[in-house]
Amino acid sequence: MSRVTVISAKRLDSATLDGIISRIRKKAGEDVEINIEIDSDLIGGIIIRHDDIVYDGSVRYQLERIKRQLKR
Amino acid sequence: MQLPLGLSPLEILLHAFNFAVLLIAVRFLLWKPITNFMEKRQAEYLEAEEKSKEALKEAEELKQKYSALVEEAERDKQAIARKIVDEANEKADHIIKEARQHAHEITAHAKKQAENEALKIKSEVEGQIISLSVDIAEKILGREVSVEDNSKLIEDCLKEWESS
């Protein structure tokens, strides 16, 4: 059984949350374990951690990437 | 007959005879030793004069020899002095050259250090400016990320995950 954790910067309304869960089940299967967390440090967007793979779509990640590029 | 001084002719003849005898006696008895003595003295004087001349000549030769030695010593002294001065000048030039080289190295090292320090400071300042800019951006974005923007970010992330 796979596990997907979604970390959001802001509290999500139920429609958005249902849409996300639906799409996760479609991609990862019906028996997937889904965890939803809130982290305001992300500023905006979400992070999807599927087992050991992480997809970071947060504003904080974008800013960190810009910072690294500027410092090169 | 009486002659002046109260002498008779016979007495005069007698005296003359005595004088002649005396002369002959002196001639035979003293002449030879005296001449021998005089010749010997003359020979001694000549020998002494000859020795004196030889000594004078030797002294002159010695004087010339010593003068030559003194001149040679003077030349040697001047040559040694020139050599010492030349060596001292050479050493001084070498020391000055080394000192200049050392000063140049110190200057170059200091310049390099200053450049490195400036680069380091510049890099630190740039890093601080970037961090500060990103912090400001975070604060602005934290206030201004709208619901629509957040929904779009969520949608983009989901699409990326779904397409993997």
What's the pLDDT at B2? Answer: 57
Q: For chain A, what percent of residues have pLDDT higher than 90?
A: 67
Question: What spatial distance separates the first Cα and last Cα of chain A, rounded to whole Å?
Answer: 41
Question: Residues A35, A5: contact at Cβ < 8 Å?
Answer: yes
Query: For residue B1, with 0-12 CB atoms within 10 Å meaning exposed, 13-18 middle and 19 or more buried, which class applies?
Result: exposed
Cβ-based burial of B151 (10 A; exposed 0-12, middle 13-18, buried ≥19): middle
Q: Is residue B3 part of a domain?
A: no
Calculate mean pLDDT across residues B81-107. Answer: 96
Chain B residues whose beta carbon lies within 8 Å of the beta carbon of residue A50: 161
Q: Number of residue pairs across A and B with CB atoms under 8 Å? A: 69
pLDDT at B64 over 60: yes
* Reported confidence tier of residue B1, pLDDT bands at 50, 70, 90: low
The residue range of the domain holding B140 is 9-145
Q: What is the DSSP letter of A16?
A: H
Q: Is B151 inside a domain boundary? A: no
pTM above 0.80, yes or no: no
Whole-number pLDDT of residue A25: 93
Tokens (6 digits) for B158 = 């989901």
Q: Domain count for chain A, please give it.
A: 1
A36 three-class SS: strand
Q: Which of A36-45, A61-70, B40-49, B134-143 has the lowest mean pLDDT?
A: B134-143
Q: What is the pLDDT of residue B72?
A: 96
Does the residue B104 lie in any domain? yes
Terminal-residue alpha carbon distance, chain B: 198
Q: In what order do the strands lie in the sheet with A33-38?
A: A33-38, A3-8, A46-50, A53-56
The ipTM of this complex is 0.91
Query: What residues make up the domain containing A59?
Result: 3-71
Cβ–Cβ under 8 Å, residues A38 and A10:
yes
Asked whether residue B157 is domain-assigned, the answer is no
Return the minimum-mean-pLDDT range out of B6-10, B18-22, B129-133, B159-163: B6-10
Determine the residue among A21, A67, A69 to mutate to test chain B binding: the one whose Cβ has the most chain B Cβ atoms within 10 Å.
A67
Percentage, residues of chain B above pLDDT 70: 98
Four-point Cα dihedral A13, A16, A17, A22, nearest 10:
160
Number of domains, chain B: 1
What's the mean pLDDT in A40-68?
A: 91
Q: What is the mean pLDDT of residues B91-103?
A: 97
Q: What is the mean pLDDT of residues A10-19?
A: 91
The partner residues of A37 in beta bridges, in order of sequence, read A7
Q: Please, which pLDDT band fits residue B29 given cuts at 50, 70 and 90?
A: confident
- The answer to whether residue A60 neighbours chain B at the CB level (below 8 Å) is yes
Residue A59 sits at the chain B interface (C-beta within 8 Å) = yes
Would an 8 Å CB–CB cutoff place A71 in contact with chain B? yes
- Distance CA(B103)–CA(B86), nearest Å, equals 25
Give the pLDDT mean for A7-29.
92
B144 backbone dihedrals φ, ψ, rounded to 5°: -110, 5
Give domain status of residue B163, yes or no: no
